[in-house]
């Protein structure tokens, strides 16, 4: 896109000469013959440089430039002065006019001034554009950081509601982060344990645990269902089930990947105690059933044998045989009940009912 220069002077011949030379240099040139006309053109067009005579009818060059600057300050102002306009030229410089020339002007010098002015404004525009880019980039970074912070708070809130203890360890197996459940479970505070080794935190003398955690680094392996017995003055004896796996975390500033390890600790003390109680109750039940059923099944079996003998006897009438058959049915029900108790079928049928 060509740079546009506006030439404003009431001397038409001078305007034509300036336009002709600037056209040769590749500029797009517009001409106005007084300040009012020049200002109107400036309002409606993009202008990169304005060359204006100070003395013009209607509106002088300084007044026009001041009004142009109020509309859009992004242009190069150059003043042409006549003899006796020295004081006005000084005023022009104070108004941030780029340069001024005395009449009769040197076209070569004028073109050089325009070139320098255009170069300056291009640099200024580039700087302004870069400044805007940096401001936009800073705004986007701030918005991104705020979003990340909101997401982190949201994630932390979710993590803190997880009933298991979550720990992040560094490559030396030292604590870097933990959720609220961890501090509540171990009745401690971050400043007391942050940076401590996992072995010290868990009071673990079991070297197998530390060895297994160390071996996870650099692999995709997962440590699952590792049961650890824990003893402390605050919590007493606890039983933990531990799951762990290695993580790779990208560090943007250093452009390196840092190895970390995620450890999940579940307190299964109450569950283990409940399971042990259930196992003990089951064992007592089995012993009870075996003992009592043995004492019941033996006489019941003998009674069944005698019933069969009675039924085979020919000395009984039909009514007596019917009563004995009823006794045999009841005896068989007792035998089935005992056998079901031994196999567990009785409890299953009772639960279904």
The CATH classification number of 4-129 equals 3.40.50.2300
Instruction: Please give the pLDDT value at position 353.
Output: 41
pLDDT in tens, 83-94: 555 566 556 555
Q: At which residue do the structure tokens 């990947």 appear?
A: 257
**CATH for 274-352, options being 1.10.287, 3.30.43, 2.60.120, 1.10.1740:** 1.10.287
Q: At which residue do the structure tokens 């720990």 appear?
A: 167
Domain with CATH 3.30.450.20 in the chain: 162-265
| Contact criterion met (CB below 8 Å) for 296 and 339 | no
How many angstroms separate the first and last alpha carbons of the chain?
A: 92
| Contact criterion met (CB below 8 Å) for 232 and 203 | yes
| Contact criterion met (CB below 8 Å) for 121 and 77 | no
Is the pLDDT assigned to residue 30 strictly greater than 90? yes
pTM, two decimal places: 0.49
Q: Measured between alpha carbons, how far is 93 from 65 in angstroms, rounded to an integer?
A: 12
Task: List the one residue out of 69, 38, 39, 47 whose CA is nearest residue 1.
Answer: 47
Instruction: Please give the pLDDT value at position 187.
Output: 87
How, if at all, do strands 49-53 and 4-8 pair?
parallel
Instruction: Please give the pLDDT value at position 95.
Output: 58
Q: Tell me if residue 193 falls in helix, strand or coil.
A: helix
Domain with CATH 3.40.50.2300 in the chain: 4-129
pLDDT in tens, 96-148: 677 778 888 899 999 999 999 999 988 988 888 888 899 999 999 999 999 99
Helix (H) or strand (E) holding 192: helix 190-193
Q: Measured between alpha carbons, how far is 215 from 146 in angstroms, rounded to an integer?
A: 37
Which two three-digit tokens encode residue 132? 């805007």
Query: Is the bond preceding residue 241 a cis peptide, omega within 30 degrees?
Result: no
Domain with CATH 1.10.287 in the chain: 274-352
The CATH classification number of 162-265 equals 3.30.450.20
Instruction: Please give the pLDDT value at position 345.
Output: 53
């Amino acid at each position: 896109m060509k740079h546009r220069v506006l030439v404003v002077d009431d001397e038409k011949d001078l305007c034509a000469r300036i336009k002709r030379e600037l056209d040769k240099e590749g500029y797009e040139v517009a001409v106005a013959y007084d300040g009012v006309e020049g200002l109107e053109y400036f309002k409606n067009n993009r202008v990169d440089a304005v060359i204006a005579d100070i003395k013009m009818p209607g509106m002088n060059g300084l007044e026009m430039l001041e009004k142009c600057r109020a509309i859009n300050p992004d242009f190069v102002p150059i003043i042409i002065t006549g003899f006796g306009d020295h004081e006005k030229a000084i005023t022009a410089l104070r108004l941030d006019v780029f340069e001024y020339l005395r009449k009769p002007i040197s076209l070569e010098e004028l073109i050089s001034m325009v070139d320098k002015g255009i170069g300056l404004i291009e640099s200024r525009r580039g700087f302004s554009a870069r400044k805007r880019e940096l401001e936009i980039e800073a705004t986007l970074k701030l918005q991104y950081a705020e979003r990340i912070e909101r997401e982190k708070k949201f994630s932390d809130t979710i993590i803190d509601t997880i009933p298991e203890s979550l720990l992040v360890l560094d490559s030396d197996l030292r604590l870097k982060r933990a959720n609220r459940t961890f501090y509540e479970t171990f009745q401690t505070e971050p400043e007391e344990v942050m940076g401590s080794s996992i072995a010290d935190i868990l009071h673990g003398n079991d070297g197998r645990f530390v060895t297994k955690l160390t071996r996870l680094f650099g692999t995709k392996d997962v440590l699952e269902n590792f049961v650890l017995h824990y003893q402390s003055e605050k919590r007493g004896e606890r039983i933990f089930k531990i799951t762990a796996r290695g993580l790779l975390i990208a560090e943007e500033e250093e452009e390196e990947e840092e190895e970390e390890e995620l450890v999940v600790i579940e307190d299964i003390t109450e569950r283990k105690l409940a399971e042990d109680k259930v196992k003990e109750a089951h064992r007592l039940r089995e012993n009870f059933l075996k003992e009592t059923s043995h004492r019941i099944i033996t006489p019941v079996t003998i009674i069944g044998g005698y019933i069969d003998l009675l039924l085979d006897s020919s000395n009984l009438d039909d009514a007596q045989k019917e009563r004995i058959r009823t006794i045999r049915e009841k005896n068989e029900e007792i035998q089935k009940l005992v056998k079901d108790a031994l196999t567990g079928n009785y409890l299953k049928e009772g639960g279904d009912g």
